[in-house]
Amino acid sequence: MRSASTNDIEFRAVAKRYGSVAAVSGIDLAVPKGAFVALLGPSGCGKTTCLRMIGGFEQPSEGAVYIGGEAMNGVPAYRRPVNMVFQHYALFPHLDVEQNVAYGLKQLRPRIAAAEIGRRTQEALEMVRLGGFAKRRIHEMSGGQQQRVALARAIVNKPKVLLLDEPLAALDKKLRTAMQIELQSLQRELGITFVLVTHDQEEALSMSDLVCVMNAGRIVQIGTPEEIYDRPESLFVADFVGKTNRIAATIEAGAGPIRLANGVGLAKPARVNGTAGAAMVALRPEAIRLVRDGASTLQGTVTHRIFLGSSVEYSVEVDGLGDFLVTADRRSIDESDLAEPGERIGLSFDPHAMHVFPA
Amino acid sequence: MRAMNRKRNLATAALVAPAAAWLAVFLVLPFIAMLVFAFGERAPEGGYQPAFTFAQFANLPTRATAFWNTLMLAPAGALLCLLVAYPTAYYLAVKANPRYRLILVSLVVVPFWTSLLVRTYAWMYILGSRGIPNLLSMIGIEDVRLLNTPGAVLLGIVYGYLPLMIMPIYVSLERLDRRLLEASADLGAKPVSTFFGVTLPLSLPGVMTGVALVTILLLGEYLIPQLLGGGKVFFIGNALVDLFLQSRNWPFGSAIAVTLVAVVVVVLMLAMRIAWKIAGTRQVDLV
C-alpha cells in the first residue's frame, strides 16, 4: 500500500498501549523527506515509544506507521529502511570499531564483496572523523568517540531515515554543542531524514527544522523552532520550551483589558480571541525590561541576581504577583550598571509579548 | 604514612590468613607429600618407602585405559552437558516470563538438595534390568543393556553436572544488554544472525566457564563411573581409589594423581586462552 506523499515518515492515528496503560494515543505526524525533526517532551511523554515504533522495536496497537509511503505494520526491525543511534550507543563490545561499523553491511543480501565492505566502512568512519581508529576496541574509545562510532554504524547502510534516541545525553556540555553542529552538517551532507528524540529543549530548538512537542502520550504542538518558542499554543509548551513567567489573569469581555491578578489592566494582545474568564498569561523572561524611572507596567523588588556572563538573570518580587524571572542584557540598565538585590525597580513589557491561555 | 601502610598490610593479612592457612595445610602440604611419594617406591607391605625413581611414571601406560576414558568422557560429557544446558539457559534468561524466572532458575538448583549418590543410585535402578530394559521387554524388545555402558556413564554425567553448566551460561545471557540485540536487528540482522553474531559470542565466557568447571570436576569423577559404569568404564578417579585402598600402591597412585593435576592445569589454561581470544577481553572469570 503506497500513499502518494513525499513524506518519509507518517504516523496515522497511532496508539500504543501496554496492557491497559496507553503510552501514546492519537498520534498523527508527517515528516517530510530530508527534514530534521525533533520529538521533544518530558520523560514518559511517549517520544521514545514513537521512535521505537519507527524502528520496529514496538508495534502500534492502533493505526499505522508509514516509512517512505509503505505501511510498516508487522514489518520487523531488520527489514526496515531505517537505522538508529541508540541512547547509550549499544556498540558491540566484542567487535572493534571497524567491525561495529561493518556489521550492517555484512547483513546485506545478496552479500557484497569484502573489499566493498571495507571501502564503505572506511568512508563512514571518515565521515565522522574516526578514519584512524578502525582497529580500536570499543572500551578504548572515549564517550564522544563512541558516539561517533554509533553514528557511523547507523549511516553506513544509507538508511532512508536516521533515528537518534537522546544521542547527546551522555556527553558533557562542550562536546554536546560540538556534536549538535556536526549532526546538523552530517544531515545536510547525507540529505536523509533525521528523527531526534530529546528531553532537552535547547537541543531540539537548535538542531531541528521541525519540533514536535509531546506530553502525556500526545502531540501538543508541531512547528518550526521559532513557532514553538514564539507562539506556544498551550501553557505546557510555553512552560516546557524555554523559561516562562506564569501570571494568573482574567480576560474581560468585549474590548476590555486583560486584568492581571494584582489588578493591573493591560491591552489584549492581537492573538487573544478571548472568551471572557479566568486565564493564564505566559511571559518570557527576556521580554521584560527592568527600568529605574519613567513609566513601567509593574513594580517590584529585586531579590536575587545571577550573573551569567553575557546576560544577567534577576529574580524580582513583583507587587501582588510574586516571583518573576527577568533576563537582561548586561547593559540593559545604563551601560554595565546592574540592579542590586533589594532595589525597587520597574518592569516594562510589550503586552503583545504575552501569551494568554484559558486557565 | 608508613604506619598506615602497615595497618593496611595487617588488615590484609588478617583477611587472607584463614584461607591461606587452610590451603597450606590441606592442599599445598598434601600435594608436596604426593610429589614426594610419586618419586618413591611401594613398601613391600604396601604404602610408601623413600627412594628416587621415575619407575612410577614409567608405569603410567598400564593405566592408559583409565586415562583414555577420563580424557575422552570428561570433555565429551562436558560438551553433551553444554548442548543440553545452552538452550535451557537461553530459555531461562531470554524467553521465560520474568515473573516466573526466579522460580524456574531455582528448579535448576533443586536437585542439589539431594545427594548425588542417592540420585545416581536411582539411575542404577532406572537403567538396570528391572528398569527400562524390563519395560522394553514387555513390548518385545529383549536384551537391551543400558547399565554398565559408556552411554550410562555419559547420561549420569549430564544428569549430575547439568546445573553447573546451566548457571554460568544463564548468568552471562542474563547480563547481556538487550539493546545490543535491538541494535543488531536494526542493522538488518535476522534473528539467527543476531544469535550467532551477538548473543553467542557474548555468552562465550559463561560457556567456557561452564565447560571448564564441568570438565575439571569430571577429570576427578569417581562416583558415576563406579555406579553406572560398573567397573567396566574406569576413570582415573576409580584407578586412584583402587591403588590407594586396595593394592596400597601409594607411589603409583601419587604419580597418577600428579599427572592428572598437570593435565587439569593445562586444560584450564588452554580454555582461558581461548575464552579471552573469542570474547576479546581479559575479563573472563573461570570458576
CA of B103, closest CA in chain A: separation in Å? 24
DSSP assignment of A90-152: ---TTSBHHHHHHHHHHT-SS---HHHHHHHHHHHHHHTT-GGGTT-BGGGS-HHHHHHHHHH
CA of B270, closest CA in chain A: separation in Å? 20
Residue type, A318: V
Distances from the Cα of A144 to the Cαs of A225, A234, B67, in angstroms?
Answer: 26, 36, 55
The interface residues of chain B toward chain A in range 201-230, judged by CB-CB distance below 8 A, are 201-202
CA of A92, closest CA in chain B: separation in Å? 7
Contact A149, A89 (CB under 8 A): yes
pLDDT given for residue A276 in this prediction: 81
Q: Could you tell me which chain B residue has the CA closest to the CA of A156?
A: B187
Distances from the Cα of B195 to the Cαs of A299, B90, B133, B205, in angstroms?
Answer: 68, 11, 40, 15
Over its C-alpha atoms, chain B yields an Rg (Å, rounded) of: 24
Nearest-angstrom CA–CA distance, B79 and A25 = 51
pLDDT given for residue B150 in this prediction: 85
Nearest-angstrom CA–CA distance, B77 and B191 = 29
Nearest-angstrom CA–CA distance, B194 and B184 = 6
Q: What is the separation, in whole angstroms, between the first and last Cα of chain A? A: 44
Q: Name the DSSP letter for residue B230.
A: T
A103 — contact with chain B (CB < 8 Å)? yes
Nearest-angstrom CA–CA distance, B127 and B152 = 8
pLDDT in tens, chain A (359 residues): 444 457 899 999 999 999 999 999 999 999 999 999 999 999 999 999 999 999 999 999 999 999 999 999 999 999 999 999 999 999 999 999 999 999 999 999 899 999 999 999 999 999 998 999 999 999 999 999 999 999 999 999 999 999 999 998 888 888 888 889 989 999 999 999 999 999 999 999 999 999 999 999 999 999 999 999 999 999 999 999 989 999 999 888 877 788 898 888 888 877 766 678 888 999 999 999 888 877 788 999 999 999 888 888 999 999 989 999 999 876 655 545 678 888 899 999 998 889 988 87
pLDDT given for residue A115 in this prediction: 96
Nearest-angstrom CA–CA distance, A204 and A210 = 9
Least confident span in A101-115, B82-96, B223-237: B223-237
In this structure, the strands spanning A36-40 and A193-198 are: parallel
Helix (H) or strand (E) holding B274: helix B250-279
Q: Which residues of A touch B206 (CB under 8 A)?
A: none
Interchain proximity A157–B184, CB inside 8 Å = no
Structural domains of chain A ordered from first start: 7-235 (3.40.50.300), 244-358 (2.40.50.140)
Nearest-angstrom CA–CA distance, A327 and A284 = 9
A137 — contact with chain B (CB < 8 Å)? yes
User: The domain at B64-279 falls in which architecture?
Assistant: Orthogonal Bundle (1.10)
The interface residues of chain A toward chain B in range 313-352, judged by CB-CB distance below 8 A, are none
Angle at which helices B250-279 and B29-38 cross, to 10°? 120
CA of B76, closest CA in chain A: separation in Å? 28
Nearest-angstrom CA–CA distance, A258 and A277 = 10
Least confident span in A258-272, B95-109, B151-165, B243-257: A258-272
Contact A193, A68 (CB under 8 A): no
Strand partners, A351: none
Average pLDDT estimate for B246-267? 89
> pLDDT tens across B44-69, in order?
888 888 888 888 898 888 888 888 88
Q: Name the DSSP letter for residue A356.
A: E
Please check the confidence at residue B283 and state whether its pLDDT lies above 70.
Answer: no
Contact A237, A213 (CB under 8 A): yes
At B201 the three-state DSSP class reads helix
The mean pLDDT of chain B is 87
A56 — contact with chain B (CB < 8 Å)? yes
User: Strands of A265-266's sheet, edge to edge?
Assistant: A265-266, A258-260, A245-251, A277-283, A355-358
What the block records as the C-alpha cell of A30 is 508527517
- Listed in sequence order, the residues at least 6 apart from A271 whose beta carbon sits closer than 8 Å to its beta carbon are A231, A356
Q: Could you tell me which chain B residue has the CA closest to the CA of A152?
A: B187
Q: Could you tell me which residue, A164 or B138, shows the higher pLDDT?
A: A164
Q: Could you tell me which chain A residue has the CA closest to the CA of B187?
A: A104
Over its C-alpha atoms, chain A yields an Rg (Å, rounded) of: 25
- Listed in sequence order, the residues at least 6 apart from A202 whose beta carbon sits closer than 8 Å to its beta carbon are none
Interchain proximity B280–A93, CB inside 8 Å = yes
- Listed in sequence order, the residues at least 6 apart from B113 whose beta carbon sits closer than 8 Å to its beta carbon are none
DSSP assignment of B36-61: HHHTSB--TTSB-B----SHHHHTGG
Buried b / exposed e over A271-287, threshold 16 CB at 10 Å, is ebebeeeebbbbbbbbb
Q: Could you tell me which residue, B4 or B46, shows the higher pLDDT?
A: B46
